[in-house]
């Protein structure tokens, strides 16, 4: 039980490194949560501040998850049970996402964790990460909506985790991550249905003008 707590705590602390909020304050003197869709994350940074800021935030959010999961890999490299080891990695990734989405110093109001999930996948399994990145890129380009790309991504992660036989614990955590992502993107889905959601191409074109 102590190890579960350590793994989760490390993930949450890394997740609380809220780069969209920090950079928004430092570089533009704005609270990113007061712009766009009202959350602190890479996609809202693209919408609110432009794609250059959004890409930087995404890379930083990916990096914090990579570092966190790699730290767990180093700390628990001697764990003999592969399923337990994979569970630790997924649990840490989950709490990076929770820290990103609900940072304590921002009244637990953060982002949606997509970039952190990609970072987690990069540290856990490179082929799975490549599949995830290609999925979100392709679906986003086809539909023009990052939210739809994210939803397909998390469903792919659940299916791939089961296919790779990473263990029941990892599969369960992947399902929790998917449920959280879908829930967090329900407002986006409602806006898409009402044709009120800004598409990626519209956002990029607007910021370039």
- pLDDT tier, 108 (very low <50, low <70, confident <90, very high otherwise): confident
Residue pair 16/31 in contact by the 8 Å Cβ criterion: no
* Parent domain of 53: 2-208
What DSSP line would sit under 9-67, residue for residue? HHHHHHHT--HHHHHIIIII---GGGSTTS--SHHHHHHHH-HHHHHHHHHHHHHHHHH
The confidence score (pLDDT) of residue 55 equals 87
- pLDDT tier, 205 (very low <50, low <70, confident <90, very high otherwise): low
Residue 191: other Cβ atoms inside 10 A:
15
Residue pair 132/156 in contact by the 8 Å Cβ criterion: yes
The confidence score (pLDDT) of residue 209 equals 47
Q: Which region, left, alpha or beta, applies to residue 45 given φ > 0 means left and ψ of -120 to 50 means alpha?
A: alpha
What DSSP line would sit under 95-150, residue for residue? HHHHHHHS-GGGTT-----HHHHHHHHHHH-HHHHHHHHHHHHHHHHHHS-HHHHH
Residue pair 32/40 in contact by the 8 Å Cβ criterion: yes
What's the whole-number mean pLDDT along residues 106-125? 91
The confidence score (pLDDT) of residue 37 equals 72
DSSP one-letter code for 198: P
What is the number of structural domains in the chain?
1
What's the whole-number mean pLDDT along residues 193-197? 84
Residue 81: other Cβ atoms inside 10 A:
10
In degrees, rounded to 5, the angle at the alpha carbon of residue 202 between the alpha carbons of residues 112 and 150 is 30
Q: For the segment 45-104, what is each residue's pLDDT rounded down to a tens digit?
A: 877 777 788 889 999 999 999 999 999 999 999 999 999 999 999 999 999 999 999 999
Query: Looking at the predicted structure, is the pLDDT value of residue 207 above 70?
Result: no
- pLDDT tier, 171 (very low <50, low <70, confident <90, very high otherwise): very high
pTM comes to 0.90
The confidence score (pLDDT) of residue 92 equals 98
Q: For the segment 124-145, what is each residue's pLDDT rounded down to a tens digit?
A: 999 999 999 999 999 999 998 8
The confidence score (pLDDT) of residue 50 equals 75
Residue 175: other Cβ atoms inside 10 A:
16
């Amino acid at each position: 039980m102590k190890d579960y707590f350590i793994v989760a705590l490390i993930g949450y602390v890394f997740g609380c490194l809220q780069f969209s909020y920090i950079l928004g304050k430092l570089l533009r003197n704005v609270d990113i949560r007061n712009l766009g869709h009202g959350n602190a994350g890479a996609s809202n940074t693209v919408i609110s501040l432009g794609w250059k800021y959004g890409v930087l935030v995404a890379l930083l959010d990916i990096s914090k998850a990579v570092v966190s999961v790699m730290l767990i890999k180093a700390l628990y490299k001697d764990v003999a049970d592969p399923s337990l080891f994979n569970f630790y990695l997924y649990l840490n990734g989950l709490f990076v996402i929770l820290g990103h989405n609900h940072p304590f110093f921002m009244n637990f109001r953060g982002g949606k964790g997509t970039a952190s999930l990609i970072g987690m996948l990069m540290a856990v399994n490179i082929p799975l990460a490549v599949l995830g990145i290609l999925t979100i890129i392709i679906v986003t380009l086809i539909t023009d909506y990052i939210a739809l790309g994210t939803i397909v991504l998390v469903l792919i992660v659940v299916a791939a985790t089961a296919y790779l036989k990473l263990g029941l614990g990892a599969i369960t955590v992947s399902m929790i991550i998917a449920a959280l992502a879908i829930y967090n993107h329900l407002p986006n889905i409602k806006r898409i249905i009402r044709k009120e959601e800004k598409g990626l191409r519209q956002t990029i074109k607007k910021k370039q003008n």
